[in-house]
Amino acid sequence: MPSHDPGRPGNRTPPLTDEEAVVARARSGDRVAFAQLMEHYQSACYGLAWRLLGDADRAADATQDAFVHAYGAIARFRGGTFRSWLLRITANASYDLLRHQQRRPTSPLPEPDEGQVELPDADAPNPVAEAARAEMYRQLDLALRQLPEDQRAAVVLCDVYGMDYGEVADATGSALGTVKSRIHRGRVRLRELLADHRELFER
């Protein structure tokens, strides 16, 4: 299992302080500005790809594909949240890879490598709470991997990355009603899988 972003444990990548200006420069063809944006959001994109694909190498491939697509499409970016726009591209790239994989002989998701789980930071202000939080993330990612593929994608896109039903439907190529059903059934299955770890989620 990949390690969490060490710079922001337990958090998502915040927007750049001067993000609008950097995006404007990238839209006008400034490669340095584009690289700055990709470097800033690469952990977010890779995290999404890994949770959709369940494999480190393919997640890196999907993220790389997303950067290429983003480079070709950034001139058409029409405002809004850049992070959401880039995550939608990453979701599409991951789903393209998933469809390509489904057309070929499939291999089961590899077992998570326990040795790669990041240990809690002993110098954190509250190491016990940090350890409990890290364990909660680990159990969540393990449970997500056990969901059926369609339910996992729907729950990850909606509940982990905050996409609405329509965005999930676009990314997965599914009907709106199908997406709702997958999300709700996925949540139920996830709760059942984590029933033995309830204490991790009660604060």
Partner 1 sequence: MTMQNHDHPPEERLAALAGGDPEATGDRALRSHVEGCDRCHDLLAQHGALRAALAELPDLVPSRPLQLVPPVPARPARSGWLTTLRGIAAPVMALGAGLAIIGAVGLGGMAAGGATGGAAPYSAMEDGNSDRGTTEGASNQPGAYGPGSVTPTAAASQQEARDQSNEPPLGDLTDTSTPLPWLVLVIGGAGLVVIGLVLRFSIQARAG
* Number of residues counted as binding partner 1 (CB under 8 A): 56
Query: Which of 18, 24, 28, 68: binder of partner 1 (CB under 8 A)?
Result: 68
Mention every residue, 6+ apart, whose C-beta is less than 8 A from residue 196.
none
Smallest separation, CB 49 to partner 1 (Å): 9
| 174 lies in the site for partner 1, by CB under 8 A | no
Helix (H, G, I), strand (E, B) or coil at 153: helix
When the beta carbons of 27 and 185 are compared against partner 1, the nearer one is: 185
185 binds partner 1 (CB under 8 A): yes
Does 131 interact with partner 1 (rule: CB under 8 A)?
no
Single-letter amino acid code for the residue at 97? L
**Binding window for partner 1 (CB under 8 A); candidates: 60-68, 104-112, 145-153, 167-175:** 60-68
What is the DSSP code string of 154-179?
HHIIIIIT---HHHHHHHHT--HHHH
Contacts of 127 (CB under 8 A, 6+ apart): 120, 121
How far apart, in whole angstroms, are the C-alpha atoms of residue 83 and residue 32? Answer: 18
What does the angle CA 7 – CA 3 – CA 45 come to, to the nearest 5 degrees? Answer: 75
The site map against partner 1 for 148-167 (x = CB under 8 A) is -------x--xxx-x-----
Q: State how far the alpha carbon of 90 is from the alpha carbons of 39, 46, 137, 161, 168, in Å.
A: 14, 8, 21, 11, 12
Contact set with partner 1 (CB under 8 A): 2-6, 8-13, 31, 34-35, 38-39, 42-44, 46-47, 50-51, 56-57, 59-60, 63-64, 67-68, 71, 136-137, 140-141, 155, 158-160, 162, 180-181, 183-185, 187-188, 190-191, 194, 198, 200-203
